A and B are shown apart, each in its own frame.
Chain A
Amino acid sequence: MSKPRRKCWRSIDELENTAGFQSEIGREFPLEADEELDPVSRRGFLKVMGASMAMAGMAGCTRQPADPTYPYVKAPEELIPGKPMYFATAHPLPTGAVPLLVKSDQFRPIKIDGNPEHPYNLGSSDVFSQGSLLDLYDPDRSQHVLYRGEKREWNEFAIGYRDKVLATGDGTGVYFLSSTITSPTLARQWREVEKALPKARLVQYDPAIAGTALEYGSSIQYDLSQADVIVSLDADFLSGAAYPGHHKLAREFAALRKQPEKGMNRLYSIESTPTTTGLKADHRLGLRASEVPAFAAALAKEVGVAGVNPAAYAWSDEQKKFAAAVARDLKAHAGRSAVMPGLYQDPLVAALAFAINVALGNAGKTVFLPPLPPKINYPPSPLVPLSSDQLAGITGLIADLNAGKVNWLIVINANPVYDAPADLNFTEAIKKAKTVVHLGSHVDETAQRAHWHIPAAHYLESWSDARAYDGTVSIVQPLIEPLYGGKTAHQFFQALLEQPGLSPYDAVRETWRETLSKKGDFEKNWRKVLHDGWIEGTAFDKTTKAGAGTPVAAIPTPTPKDSFEIIFRPDPCVYDGRYANNGWLQELPKPVTNLSWDNAALMSGATLTKLGLAEQDIVEIAVGNGRVKAPVLVAPGHPDNSVTVHLGYGRRVGRVASGAGFNAYAIRNSRGMFHTTGSVRKVEGKWGLAVTKSHYVDHRAQASSGNSNHSLEADEALGARGIVRAATLAEFKSNPDFAHEGEGRGTPAADASLFPDWNSSQGNAWGMSIDMNYCTGCNACVVGCYAENNIPVVGKQQVKLGRNMQWIRVDTYFEGNLIAPRAHFQPMLCQHCETAPCEQVCPVGATVHSPEGLNTMTYNRCVGARYCSINCPYKVRRFNYLLYSDYETESLKLLRNPDVTVRSRGVMEKCSYCVQRIQQAKIAADKENRPIADGEIETACQQACPSKAIVFGNLNDKTSRVAKQRMDKRSYGVLANLNTRPRTTYVAEVMNPNAEIEAGTKGLGTRDRVSGEQEINGG
């Protein structure tokens, strides 16, 4: 063999080749795949079913039920029943609103997507925005005004509230505690309240924002389309909307990797906890969180920033070399590089990063500062119009509470009892307030301790406004009347003003009246703004004051290497806990770990071994007086002696949220909001985590590979099978055809199949192409698919059995060792094979081929034999083992996409290429006697993707984007050598490592890997 084999792995068990893994690949079917969960034995089950089967013939004779149908009394003029309408709105997030275009079916919002015309996100979205749709219909939402737990009317509250608060005269003793205010209108209303009641206090607190630069609303603007070298200092800008500007940054980052032959950017990631940004990076350096500022300083010094003199630190040779190489690369790309500080890092890192950018001349080219937030001048206002020191704010509030100064505590869309820093003991302090009012979507931990609880309106039910990351103002427009009479923060502030009844709608119009009256008629402009979704000309000016941010304070010394660091991060799926009751997001496997339904104490393999732990063991983490029990999970690439815990779990309310994970807020103190030191101790028991990545292990590994310790797909992912094909830029240049090189990768001849040839050149031939250079593993596609295709949530127990129903998954193939892994992200969905193995084994013809090349699934014909799933080499078919779809809950009925069947028990399902969208486009085109235009059909996953990795279209149209992308030399079909002729193809990944770093260390290359086990011990 001329070329040594590169190896991939998908789980730690696989890398370590544990006994558990061995037994798993030895099994023909996944554990318990064929066993019922309830105690009924197989025999008993057959006995019962025998009788039912006899009756099954009768089931076909079910009478069509006599359904009543309820027409409108007065049909709205603009509505055509059966035709969806689209409305522009925005999802307010403290990291910048996400502009949206929401699909409404008979005035029910049923699908959220980015606003395709908005310059910021160009139609892309993220897991939070996609998932927020389910939040609207969450059956656990609070539905009544409550006073000490008893139902009341809003008016009973409203009158007393206004009278009593105004009776204080100057607002003494009136405190508002709000989540970060992002709405310019709300800020304006607050300023008016402040004028009327000068002693009333507003405290803003968001657990994921407090202590970051975002509480001041200063969001540095990057233009990565001009950056050839990007250095991330713990900045996780690729994994989700938790990082400001994610949508735009991911798109621009990916765009410069489109055509490697014309050059590509290079990403260095220095990070304290493994994220998709680090795994996607061309070079990744795992550092302890407290080392990052020191490393940033060292980097600044290397680059030549004046006035930075970091104290000596025991960097390893590798780290020193990394810093030197990065600095050299940065200097070589002065003016075309960008250094990005992490949101959750010390503010010093941001200062240093900006200083480096100024020194390199990046400021004004790739990095911009928006104008500093003017004190009182609205609009325009920055991202967070009422900037404040949130930690100082809540600390002060608690002091005042304890001092008995608080008569009214009005909590607006916040849950401090759950998420305030543990050392401040908010739970005790809140008892001292005379009246506590809580406005929130759920009767949550805070609501349970409040006197009054008012249900909050969802953003899809309310009028408001917010700014996107780039500053453009979006109007938040409701798509539905509040389902449970929810109220908004606007009403709370407005109630104290001169016109207490002024609706949020009028308040928002008032805010923008002046701006919109400048050019022409206000009403006309207002309608245009509602139609477009944003106000033109409100984006931040890209102004950069060179030298701003240069003063660098003393650089903190990293904590001793043997001390234990605890890192807190908002969860990639449920954020700070606000999405915790969202089944879609709970079931979503987290990037890197593929953990669903739980959070875990993430640590490196070496630390795990050092502490004598095994995965899923329970540890007690102690920080200060706080203690919490958490399961342990290894995260590849995690720095040693350091533990990452994600926030947002361990809730005690909500049917979905409660019982999932542990509450990391219990050990989060005001002095170490994002990282601190603590201790970890093993306690008794096992947790039982639902990790999805081991589900798709193929049992044939042992038989076919001869090398028994790897699963088929991972063992040969980079080798003979070539599931993942990747090369470095240098390799690609010397061998542009690398994706098709090697044994067993050739596609069999056209006549090598006994089955009919579907490759017709007539009509439409649907196909998809996924560029692996673009995919950053952010999961937006998965949640988009949930909403579009009525995918059920199955629950933790079922996920553990491998029965999760997502039609698309993002496979993560790790390469290298546990200490410095690199990952390849591969969205895996039905490949719509032309000679589909599933079709050939279906006993009832429930899965057949359409003339346009779709592998269709006819649910009403499926008898649940599951042969198709067994014969599918891609493992993309999902079976409804139980009745997963919720047919009962009223609010969830409103959520469903009416164009997609809600599947019942015993039915196989899988990706359909969003066939309902194809059919609608075909009908529209057929009626108008025209061909379907390229790009007219977008699949849900394609639409959601921030980096535009997915292209869908007609392969017979040689000018279509998908046809062109398939002509690319790097385009290949996964397992095409099985002669499946997949319609979904992938574009092989090209990475751009720095030769300087690559040369000495064992980076990506063609060298053979030493076995993982040795390297774990070595680390």
Chain B
Amino acid sequence: MPQLFHRRSNTLVRMGLVLAVLVAVATGVALDRLQRAPWVTRQGEQPAQPVSFSHRHHVQGMGVQCQYCHVSVEKSSYAGIPSTRICMNCHLQMWPNAAQLEPVRQSWMSGKSIPWVRVNDLPDFVSFDHSVHVNKGVGCVTCHGQVDQMNATSAQYSLQMEWCLDCHRNPAKNLRPASEVYNMAWRGPSESRPVWCAVGDEMSGMPTAESVNCTVSDPLARAVLNATLTTPSSMNGGRVLVAVPTYEKFTSQDELGRFLVNHYKIRNTQDLMSCEVCHR
């Protein structure tokens, strides 16, 4: 029986096999990249909104605080999209006739909601609670980016599970004093910009967010300053003894983070990584 295939076909088959493996690997890699791609996650996308609302203008320009509109962020799982009334609180007086605000006025007159497009959207099988994050020192910026610089709002991060877990594995690297949660320009402590924190009353029942006082100016210097302003300066040869709570000085985010994890009573990594924390 003659040979059906030429000798060369051996090489072809070998090449084919190698190629098949390569294609399989390449497909895998491509799919893996694809599912993290902004096309899928909508990261950075600026969807058209019914009103061209600018966070930059309102936050940076006007200095409106986050909670003025996102009313329930400290109390509830849901931060809250502002009702039309909140817009109209100001816009009844300011720019009452601006063409840009027509959809808002329409909504106000007709009683129909403004159909905002969600920018930071989680899948339905994820339970996320804003209040616990805000109360435990996770800043708005940490997840939403510097909204104060966004004209059209976009998602800064992918909000994918690996991104959530990255922080749940080590929350210390993202924590800040609860008083700085809404601070859009907060930078973690460094040698040149240290942070001083003092532990207050850590009673049971006292909100953890109130258990720590932090400041970016040297509390001792400030105390001395305050004291010099209020007491005769001649006492003790210029040295003033004031009851200052014991402030600890932090020069790195790591140290501060660990300190806050402790005092905000943040659960351990094992707890934070457990499935039922987000999936119920």
Question: Known: A74-B85, A82-B76, A929-B205. Is A60-B125 also a contact (CB below 8 A)?
Answer: no
Q: Tell me which of B52-60, B114-122, B213-221, B251-259 binds A.
A: B114-122
Q: Please indicate the chain B residues that have their CB under 8 angstroms from the CB of A60 in the complex.
A: 31, 35
Interface residues of A in 902-934 (CB under 8 A from B): 902, 912, 915-916, 918-919, 923, 926-931
Does A900 belong to the interface (CB within 8 Å)? yes
B50 to chain A, nearest CB (A): 9
Q: Tell me which of B9-17, B188-196, B230-238, B263-271 binds A.
A: B263-271
Q: Is the CB of A61 within 8 A of B34?
A: yes
Q: Is the CB of B132 within 8 A of A923?
A: yes
Interface residues of B in 242-256 (CB under 8 A from A): none
Which 10 pairs between the two chains have the least Cβ-Cβ distance?
A82-B78, A82-B76, A70-B113, A72-B83, A71-B81, A75-B83, A68-B115, A850-B274, A82-B77, A73-B84
Does A554 belong to the interface (CB within 8 Å)? no
Q: Is the CB of B125 within 8 A of A61?
A: no
Does B146 belong to the interface (CB within 8 Å)? no
Residue of B with least CB distance to A845: B275
Q: Choose from B39, B116, B275 the contact partner of A71 (Cβ within 8 Å).
A: B116
Q: Choose from A68, A74, A858, A928 the contact partner of B84 (Cβ within 8 Å).
A: A74
Q: Choose from B72, B118, B208, B276 the contact partner of A850 (Cβ within 8 Å).
A: B276
Residue of B with least CB distance to A57: B31
- 1/0 contact trace for A95-124 toward B, CB 8 Å? 000000000000000000000000000000
B192 to chain A, nearest CB (A): 33
Q: Is the CB of B131 within 8 A of A923?
A: yes
Does A378 belong to the interface (CB within 8 Å)? no
Question: Known: A80-B76, A81-B72, A860-B125. Is A929-B84 also a contact (CB below 8 A)?
Answer: no
Once the chains are docked, how many angstroms separate the CA of A922 from the CA of B55? 33
Q: Choose from A57, A61, A68, A901 the contact partner of B118 (Cβ within 8 Å).
A: A68
Once the chains are docked, how many angstroms separate the CA of A856 from the CA of B279? 9
Once the chains are docked, how many angstroms separate the CA of A927 from the CA of B178? 12
Once the chains are docked, how many angstroms separate the CA of A854 from the CA of B34? 34
Question: Known: A63-B39, A68-B117, A71-B84. Is A851-B274 also a contact (CB below 8 A)?
Answer: yes
Of B114, B121, B205, B279, most buried by chain A (CB within 10 Å of CB) is B279
Q: Please indicate the chain B residues that have their CB under 8 angstroms from the CB of A852 in the complex.
A: 271, 274
Q: Please indicate the chain A residues that have their CB under 8 angstroms from the CB of B112 in the complex.
A: 73
Q: Is the CB of A926 within 8 A of B132?
A: yes
Besides A66-B117, A928-B207, 4 other A-B contacts (C-beta < 8 A): A73-B83, A83-B75, A927-B131, A927-B209
Q: Is the CB of B118 within 8 A of A929?
A: no
Does A499 belong to the interface (CB within 8 Å)? no
Once the chains are docked, how many angstroms separate the CA of A668 from the CA of B113? 54
B229 to chain A, nearest CB (A): 35
Does A859 belong to the interface (CB within 8 Å)? yes
Q: Please indicate the chain B residues that have their CB under 8 angstroms from the CB of A915 in the complex.
A: 276, 280
B83 to chain A, nearest CB (A): 4
Residue of A with least CB distance to B111: A73
Total interface residues on B, using CB and 8 Å? Answer: 60
Once the chains are docked, how many angstroms separate the CA of A71 from the CA of B112? 9
Q: Is the CB of A856 within 8 A of B275?
A: yes
Question: Known: A61-B40, A72-B83. Is A850-B280 also a contact (CB below 8 A)?
Answer: no
Q: Choose from A62, A71, A856 the contact partner of B82 (Cβ within 8 Å).
A: A71
For this complex, 9 residue pairs linking A to B, each with C-beta atoms less than 8 Å apart, are A62-B40, A63-B42, A80-B72, A82-B77, A850-B275, A858-B279, A923-B131, A929-B204, A930-B204
Q: Please indicate the chain A residues that have their CB under 8 angstroms from the CB of B207 in the complex.
A: 927-929
Q: Please indicate the chain A residues that have their CB under 8 angstroms from the CB of B202 in the complex.
A: 929
Total interface residues on A, using CB and 8 Å? Answer: 48
Q: Choose from B113, B135, B276 the contact partner of A72 (Cβ within 8 Å).
A: B113
Residue of A with least CB distance to B35: A61
Q: Choose from A83, A858, A928 the contact partner of B205 (Cβ within 8 Å).
A: A928
Q: Please indicate the chain B residues that have their CB under 8 angstroms from the CB of A68 in the complex.
A: 115-118
Once the chains are docked, how many angstroms separate the CA of A860 from the CA of B271? 20
Q: Please indicate the chain A residues that have their CB under 8 angstroms from the CB of B279 in the complex.
A: 856, 858-860, 901
Binding site for B on A (CB under 8 A): 57-58, 60-75, 80-83, 763, 848, 850-852, 854, 856, 858-860, 899-902, 912, 915-916, 918-919, 923, 926-931
Tell me the dominant secondary structure on chain B's binding face: loop
Q: Please indicate the chain A residues that have their CB under 8 angstroms from the CB of B136 in the complex.
A: 926-927
Q: Please indicate the chain A residues that have their CB under 8 angstroms from the CB of B41 in the complex.
A: 64
B135 to chain A, nearest CB (A): 5
A-B CB pair tally, cutoff 8 Å: 152
Once the chains are docked, how many angstroms separate the CA of A72 from the CA of B87? 11
Q: Is the CB of A912 within 8 A of B113?
A: no
Of B77, B84, B107, B211, most buried by chain A (CB within 10 Å of CB) is B77
Q: Please indicate the chain A residues that have their CB under 8 angstroms from the CB of B115 in the complex.
A: 68-70
Q: Please indicate the chain B residues that have their CB under 8 angstroms from the CB of A918 in the complex.
A: 276
A790 to chain B, nearest CB (A): 11
B199 to chain A, nearest CB (A): 12
A977 to chain B, nearest CB (A): 28
Once the chains are docked, how many angstroms separate the CA of A852 from the CA of B31? 36
Does B63 belong to the interface (CB within 8 Å)? no
Q: Is the CB of B83 within 8 A of A923?
A: no
Question: Known: A858-B279, A912-B280. Is A927-B121 also a contact (CB below 8 A)?
Answer: no
Q: Is the CB of A80 within 8 A of B31?
A: no
Q: Please indicate the chain B residues that have their CB under 8 angstroms from the CB of A82 in the complex.
A: 72, 76-78
Q: Please indicate the chain A residues that have their CB under 8 angstroms from the CB of B61 in the complex.
A: none
Interface residues of B in 126-168 (CB under 8 A from A): 127, 129, 131-132, 135-136
Question: Known: A75-B83, A80-B72, A923-B132. Is A930-B40 also a contact (CB below 8 A)?
Answer: no
Q: Is the CB of A927 within 8 A of B132?
A: yes
Q: Is the CB of B280 within 8 A of A919?
A: yes
Q: Please indicate the chain A residues that have their CB under 8 angstroms from the CB of B211 in the complex.
A: 929
Q: Please indicate the chain B residues that have their CB under 8 angstroms from the CB of A58 in the complex.
A: 31
Q: Please indicate the chain A residues that have their CB under 8 angstroms from the CB of B78 in the complex.
A: 81-82
Question: Known: A73-B112, A927-B207. Is A80-B127 also a contact (CB below 8 A)?
Answer: no
Q: Please indicate the chain A residues that have their CB under 8 angstroms from the CB of B209 in the complex.
A: 927
Q: Is the CB of A901 within 8 A of B124?
A: yes
Once the chains are docked, how many angstroms separate the CA of A61 from the CA of B158? 13
Question: Known: A69-B81, A916-B280. Is A929-B113 also a contact (CB below 8 A)?
Answer: no
B115 to chain A, nearest CB (A): 4
A110 to chain B, nearest CB (A): 15
Once the chains are docked, how many angstroms separate the CA of A279 from the CA of B121? 53
A883 to chain B, nearest CB (A): 15
Residue of B with least CB distance to A762: B268
Q: Please indicate the chain B residues that have their CB under 8 angstroms from the CB of A856 in the complex.
A: 274-276, 279
Residue of A with least CB distance to B28: A57
Does B80 belong to the interface (CB within 8 Å)? yes
Q: Is the CB of B85 within 8 A of A73?
A: yes
Q: Please indicate the chain A residues that have their CB under 8 angstroms from the CB of B83 in the complex.
A: 71-75
Once the chains are docked, how many angstroms separate the CA of A910 from the CA of B208? 35
Q: Is the CB of A858 within 8 A of B275?
A: yes
Q: Is the CB of B205 within 8 A of A75?
A: no
Q: Please indicate the chain B residues that have their CB under 8 angstroms from the CB of A65 in the complex.
A: 121
Once the chains are docked, how many angstroms separate the CA of A69 from the CA of B83? 11
Once the chains are docked, how many angstroms separate the CA of A72 from the CA of B81? 8
Once the chains are docked, how many angstroms separate the CA of A71 from the CA of B81? 6
Q: Is the CB of A80 within 8 A of B75?
A: yes
Does B182 belong to the interface (CB within 8 Å)? no
Q: Please indicate the chain B residues that have their CB under 8 angstroms from the CB of A74 in the complex.
A: 83-85
Once the chains are docked, how many angstroms separate the CA of A850 from the CA of B279? 12
Once the chains are docked, how many angstroms separate the CA of A291 from the CA of B63? 84
Q: Is the CB of B271 within 8 A of A851?
A: yes
Residue of B with least CB distance to A67: B118
Once the chains are docked, how many angstroms separate the CA of A80 from the CA of B131? 12
Does B47 belong to the interface (CB within 8 Å)? yes
Once the chains are docked, how many angstroms separate the CA of A73 from the CA of B81? 11
B245 to chain A, nearest CB (A): 18
Q: Is the CB of B208 within 8 A of A927?
A: yes
Q: Please indicate the chain A residues that have their CB under 8 angstroms from the CB of B39 in the complex.
A: 63
Q: Please indicate the chain A residues that have their CB under 8 angstroms from the CB of B86 in the complex.
A: 75
A767 to chain B, nearest CB (A): 16
A608 to chain B, nearest CB (A): 47
Residue of A with least CB distance to B42: A64
